[in-house]
Structure 1
Amino acid sequence: MHVVVAVLGDVGRSPRMQYHTMSLLEAGHDVTLLGYTGEDLIPALQENQERLRVVRFMPPSFLFLRKCLPIYFVSRILSLTLWLTWALFLSVPGVADCIIVQNPPAMPIMAICVLYCKLMSFWRGKRPAFIIDWHNLGYSMLNPGAVQKLARKYEQIMAPFADAHFTVTKAMKVFLQENMNIKTNSSIQVLYDCPPAMFQRISLAEQHSILMKLDKQLCQNCPREWTHSKDNSHQSLFTECCENNRYLPRLSRPALIVSSTSWTPDEDFGILLDALVIMDRHIETKRLDLRCLVVVTGKGPQKEMYEERISRLGMRHIAIQTVWLEPGDYPKLLACADLGISLHTSTSGLDLPMKILDMFGCGVPVCAVNFACLSELVEDDVNGRVFESSRELADLLVDLLGPLGSNSKDTRFPNHSFGDLDRYSKQLLGRRAWSENWNENAAGVIFSAVESLATR
């Protein structure tokens, strides 16, 4: 079976579509992965894959036309239509058996894929199955107005053409059934995001290895007194290699907090910054011996703005370091963290952040800003904590990380092995991995969609 996995975005920053590709290859199928050029693919797809064809392109942005939005919008859609037509009709070998499309973005990729399926049926006598993977609602990401209404209508028109649908939450499945005119005989399958095998707990030796590799980068913004006594030959900021190659957490180490963000308006990074300032003042006032390094990964349009704001915070007990990591290094660094922070808020109230699943796969508890549907993933005071405001987050961080600032100077704390964090982390043991989840909930849907067309 030949499957096209398509996303109208940077393929390297579309983990779920890469995971679809990985699972299809593991199942013995041929895959064409289609999307924008940009970041590297995950390691599993960078290896020599005889059955994988990657088609990447970068259409012009037309940013100079943004002052006249109608002209910009039309130019952008026409350009994307041409590039997608080239990619699907000229770069995909033969006739695909199935196309899996990420939504959003929806326009114009849904229409082009429907056209491809119709034309292949007419010219080649074989119609590929068309499957939409609903990560969110595309129109919900637009400002209210005429364009949003048009985008909603477009998605409502396109949705019934699909032979099957995947959703990331139960709530989204219900919404599609009630609002998207989907045929009753079309399968709508909830396919929860789950981390692939690379997001897993790692040994202290592996933690030391990645922390030593990234040590210079992580320590850039740390106060000098955090690092002046550190022996760079065998000590990272958090771990050390002792006699007989024994790897141990360092005494009086800082806490390690990791947050991943797209640096866009739908993730208010200011909530975290405000919380850290409040926390820093609390540590100073109470004279706690607590230090925290907050590592923030990701790229996006507001990154420079927030980095400038971070440089002016003047905190004494908390350091913030922004990084962009290689695909193979991010899961390892995440597995070293004491705590993860999620600032994702859904534009539709129907999707869930993949970053939390990555943290859970590494056994790292999370503090997540509350929004509709979050309870399908994060159970407050069971596998993490939920907050509504900067003040609430600051209080949670002090409580959860407090044991690291206790008077037990001779105690070595492995990551998230103390207090409530230890309890939350144990709740994450045995969570389903992506491959198991995909085989149970996705493989059959794809196969059935293809088989139903073959028998017509």
Structure 2
Amino acid sequence: MAVLVLGDLGLSPRMQYHALSLAEERAAVELIGYRGSELPPELIAHPAVTVHRLPAPPSLDADRGRWLWLDGGRRLAAQSLLLLRLLLAGLPRPDLLLVQNPPPMPALAVAWLAARLRRARLVVDWHNFGHAMLALKLGRRHPAVRLVAGHERRWGRRADGHLTVSRAMSAELKRWGIDARVLYDRPPQRFRPTPAADRHRLFRRLAAALDLPPGIGGSAGDQTATPFTE
């Protein structure tokens, strides 16, 4: 199986967890995304996970004016070719390709093409709408926002399956004719509640370092509780 994030892999905990969960079920996982932040040790060391780190594309210069469209087109073309080459020739044929959205461009179209050519099923995990995020920067009526929205709707609907992070997102996708199954985020096992004794020691140190009022860090004779840990 292949898990694709056209973003910093280290900043994509949900997709990391997908990859780790699939690997724990004895699936061979190809995890693909941009270089950047470090990945969790258990993911790097897992024998069933192979990580492919792609170079992040250069950021666009908004001051380029009329040339911004040309710069954006060139960047999308370069991203598409690099990603398509990897998906078609750089990894074993996957049974399933799971891709994160956003960003929709060029991920959705390239993933769809690669899935069809390699006879794999395509599943989109909808975290948000790419065009809605772009509209926050450019405004809802900007031509680029309309372009991304059309691309997102067209190629997203061609996937074989859909996941999403919330019921609200699922309801919004239904307006596009997309039936997405809600899969809530669940923290990996490395995240656990902090024991009360550890919390107590932390707040006592903070109270001393920040010179907080008496009692915030707990009484001198009480080694088990503070107002924050009771």
TM-score class normalised by the smaller sequence: 0.7 to 0.9
| Kept after mapping to 1: 8 A contact 2:44/2:51 | no
Partner of 1:6: 4
- Give 5+ residue unaligned stretches, structure 2: none
Cα gap change, 1:35 to 1:69, in 2 (>3 Å):
same
1:61 paired to 2:58: yes
| Kept after mapping to 2: 8 A contact 1:254/1:404 | no
Q: Distance in 1 between matches of 2:77 and 2:5?
A: 17
| Kept after mapping to 1: 8 A contact 2:125/2:164 | yes
Partner of 1:106: 104
The number of aligned residues is: 222
| Kept after mapping to 2: 8 A contact 1:255/1:404 | no
Q: Choose the corresponding residue for 2:177, options 169, 177, 181.
A: 181
Q: Choose the corresponding residue for 1:289, options 208, 213, 216.
A: 213
| Kept after mapping to 2: 8 A contact 1:159/1:181 | no
What letter matches 2:115 in structure 1? C
**1:359-405 Cα deviation digits (max 9, x unpaired):** xxxxxxxxxxxxxxxxxxxxxxxxxxxxxxxxxxxxxxxxxxxx627
Counterparts of 1:90-129 in structure 2 under 5 Å? 90-93=89-92, 95-120=93-118, 127-129=119-121
Counterparts of 1:3-402 in structure 2 under 5 Å? 3-47=1-45, 49-61=46-58, 63=60, 67=64, 68-93=67-92, 95-120=93-118, 127-142=119-134, 143-144=138-139, 145-178=142-175, 180-182=176-178, 187-203=179-195, 207=198, 239=201, 250=204, 253=207, 289=213
**1:289-337 Cα deviation digits (max 9, x unpaired):** 17xxxxxxxxxxxxxxxxxxxxxxxxxxxxxxxxxxxxxxxxxxxxxxx
**1:204-245 Cα deviation digits (max 9, x unpaired):** 67x49xxxxxxxxxxxxxxxxxxxxxxxxxxxxx739xxxxx
Aligned-pair identity (%): 35
Q: Distance in 2 between matches of 1:128 and 1:100?
A: 10
Higher relative contact order (CA 8 A, sep 6+): 1
Report deviation, 1:250.
3.6
| Kept after mapping to 1: 8 A contact 2:60/2:68 | no
Cα gap change, 1:54 to 1:252, in 2 (>3 Å):
closer
Alignment root-mean-square deviation, CA: 2.9
Q: Distance in 1 between matches of 2:169 and 2:209?
A: 36
| Kept after mapping to 2: 8 A contact 1:6/1:102 | yes
Task: Report the TM-score when normalising by structure 1.
Answer: 0.45
What letter matches 2:50 in structure 1? R
Report deviation, 1:13.
1.1
Cα gap change, 1:63 to 1:405, in 2 (>3 Å):
same
What letter matches 1:52 in structure 2? V
Report deviation, 1:147.
0.8
Task: Report the TM-score when normalising by structure 2.
Answer: 0.85
Report deviation, 1:199.
0.9
| Kept after mapping to 2: 8 A contact 1:139/1:148 | yes
Q: Distance in 1 between matches of 2:63 and 2:89?
A: 31
What letter matches 1:21 in structure 2? A
| Kept after mapping to 1: 8 A contact 2:131/2:146 | yes
Partner of 1:219: none
Cα gap change, 1:19 to 1:255, in 2 (>3 Å):
farther
